[in-house]
Amino acid sequence: MNKKWHINRRTFLKGLGATVALPTLDIMILNEKAYANTNTPHFFFDFVPNGYFAEEETNYIPRHMIPVVERLGDQGGYVASLSNPFRHKPLAYPHMENFLSFMRAQPFRHTDVMNNLPAPGNQNFTKTFDQYLVDANSGMANARIRTLSVILGYNTNRGFSFRTLSWRGPGKPIAHYYNPREVYNQLFSLKPNTVVVNSNNRNKNLKSVLDVVKESINNLNKKASAKDKIKLDQYYTGIREIERGLSSLDDATKEFNCELSSNLNKDFKEQNYQHQTFKQRLDIMQELLLIAHECEVTHCSNIMRAYPASTIQNSWVSGFKGPNKSWHGLSHYDTVKDANGKPYQGNGANISHNRHDFQLINKWHASNFVDFALKMKGRVDPVGKSLLDKTLLVHGSCQGKGPVHKPDGLFYLLAGNAGGRIKPNQKLEKKQTLANLWLTVMKRYGVDISKFGDATQVIPSI
CA distance 390 to 283: 22
Range list of β-strands (E), 118-233 = 148-151, 176-177
CA distance 64 to 409: 15
pLDDT reported for residue 266: 38
pLDDT reported for residue 194: 44
Q: pTM to 2 decimals?
A: 0.91
pLDDT reported for residue 90: 54
CA distance 445 to 387: 16
pLDDT reported for residue 239: 96
Domain ranges, ordered by start, for the chain: 12-444
Taking the CA atoms of the chain, what radius of gyration do you get in angstroms?
22
Which letter, b or e, does each residue of 131-148 get, where b requires 16 or more Cβ atoms within 10 Å of its Cβ? Answer: bbbbebbeebbebbbbbb
The single-letter DSSP state of residue 174 is P
CA distance 312 to 178: 15
User: What is the architecture, at CATH level 2, of domain 12-444?
Assistant: 3-Layer(aba) Sandwich (3.40)
CA distance 328 to 330: 5
CA distance 374 to 291: 14
CA dihedral 261, 265, 271, 273 (to 10 degrees): 80
pLDDT reported for residue 146: 96
For the chain, 462 residues long, give each residue's pLDDT as a single digit of tens.
445 567 888 888 998 888 999 999 999 888 887 887 788 999 999 999 999 999 877 778 999 999 999 999 999 999 999 998 876 555 557 788 889 899 998 877 655 545 555 666 677 788 999 999 999 999 999 999 999 999 998 666 667 778 899 999 988 999 899 889 889 999 987 454 444 444 444 444 457 899 999 999 999 998 899 999 999 999 999 999 999 999 887 554 454 333 333 333 334 444 456 778 899 999 999 999 999 999 999 999 999 999 888 888 999 999 999 999 999 999 999 999 988 999 999 999 999 999 999 999 999 999 999 999 999 999 999 999 999 999 999 999 999 998 888 788 999 999 999 999 999 999 999 999 999 999 999 999 999 998 999 999 999 999
Count of other CB atoms within 10 angstroms of residue 205: 6
pLDDT reported for residue 155: 66
pLDDT reported for residue 258: 36
Name the 3-class secondary structure at 392. strand
Q: Do 186 and 145 meet the contact criterion of CB atoms below 8 Å apart?
A: yes
pLDDT reported for residue 261: 36
Residues 6+ apart with CB under 8 A from 269: 252, 257
pLDDT reported for residue 85: 81
